[in-house]
């Protein structure tokens, strides 16, 4: 097993190489003060004048001058090309929660890869922040507090079943699968939504303005 590069009792802001807004970073940094950059994510960190605790990846995207300016013990080159930089980072972090910025961007293949990585590492609680949506791998049980009529999409990344209270469309007696039934564009009917799933295979997608609600729901839920 690969040793952990980052071991912390604080939450981690993980910056990817995609588009990251200053406002999203400021919000994330307030929730997760340990900053880690996935390869080219270090370029954004330099723009906002933040030195990452670690830069992890194959290092093919970071600006060479930026790379040269970083202390060598904070740069972790993982050369293998069988996984994404996001995957390399998640498997290298031991923290209560990770907030990922710059992984839900313009390229659909990058977004799909990021969602696949969430499922591959259920031991890491990770909230991905995009410009329009936030996404995370659902725990087996969780409670979310959301405004009524909030869009809540459930996308299965494998075979999974579930139960929900507080949604317009019930989940009971449905075998969800990527090539079968999916749960996009559900909607909350109560402020308190309770979700239960049979396996760690369901991705929850919420509007961007519900990032704090998603984070609140993820806190206190044990990953794994």
Show pLDDT as tens, one digit a residue, over the chain (224 residues). 678 999 999 999 999 999 999 999 999 999 999 999 999 999 999 999 999 999 999 999 999 999 999 999 999 999 888 899 999 999 999 999 999 999 998 789 999 999 999 999 999 999 999 999 999 999 999 999 999 999 999 999 999 999 999 999 999 999 999 999 999 999 999 999 999 999 999 999 999 999 999 999 998 665 55
CA distances from 90 to 56, 112, 174 (A): 10, 16, 31
Task: Judge whether 136 lies within some domain.
Answer: no
| Token pair recorded at residue 70 | 């970083």
State the total domains in the chain: 2
Residue 160 structural domain:
141-218
Indicate whether 125 and 45 sit together in one domain: yes
Q: Are strands 192-197 and 141-145 parallel, antiparallel or unpaired?
A: antiparallel
Residues in the chain: 224
Could you say which of 131, 160, 178 is where a domain stops?
131
Cα–Cα distance, 39 to 21 (Å, whole number): 17
Indicate whether 162 and 117 sit together in one domain: no
CA distances from 28 to 11, 31, 99, 142, 193 (A): 9, 5, 7, 21, 24
Residues whose CB is less than 8 angstroms from the CB of residue 141 and which lie 6 or more positions away in sequence, other chains included: 194, 195, 196, 197, 221
Indicate whether 22 and 100 sit together in one domain: yes
Indicate whether 27 and 117 sit together in one domain: yes
Task: Judge whether 124 lies within some domain.
Answer: yes
Task: Judge whether 224 lies within some domain.
Answer: no
Indicate whether 155 and 48 sit together in one domain: no
pTM value?
0.95
Could you say which of 98, 131, 164 is where a domain stops?
131
Q: Are strands 141-145 and 98-104 parallel, antiparallel or unpaired?
A: unpaired
Report the CATH number at residue 210: 2.60.120.320
Quick count: other Cβ atoms within 10 Å of Cβ 153?
17
């Amino acid at each position: 097993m690969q040793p952990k590069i980052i071991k912390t009792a604080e939450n981690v802001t993980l910056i990817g190489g995609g588009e990251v807004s200053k406002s999203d970073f400021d919000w994330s940094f307030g929730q997760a003060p340990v900053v880690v950059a996935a390869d080219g994510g270090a370029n954004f960190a330099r723009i906002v004048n933040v030195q990452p605790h670690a830069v992890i990846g194959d290092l093919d995207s970071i600006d060479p001058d930026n790379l040269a300016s970083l202390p060598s013990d904070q740069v972790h080159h993982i050369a293998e090309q069988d996984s994404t930089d996001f995957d390399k980072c998640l498997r290298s972090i031991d923290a209560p929660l990770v907030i990922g910025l710059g992984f839900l961007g313009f390229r659909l293949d990058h977004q799909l890869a990021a969602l696949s990585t969430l499922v591959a590492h259920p031991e890491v609680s990770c909230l991905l922040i995009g410009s329009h949506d936030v996404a995370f791998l659902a725990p087996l049980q969780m409670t979310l507090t959301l405004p009524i009529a909030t869009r809540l999409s459930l996308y299965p990344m494998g075979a999974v079943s579930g139960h929900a209270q507080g949604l317009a469309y019930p989940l009971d007696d449905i075998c969800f699968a990527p090539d079968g039934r999916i749960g996009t564009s559900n909607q909350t009917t109560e402020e308190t939504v309770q979700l239960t799933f049979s396996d760690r295979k369901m991705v929850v997608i919420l509007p961007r303005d519900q990032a704090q609600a998603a984070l609140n729901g993820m806190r206190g839920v044990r990953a794994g």
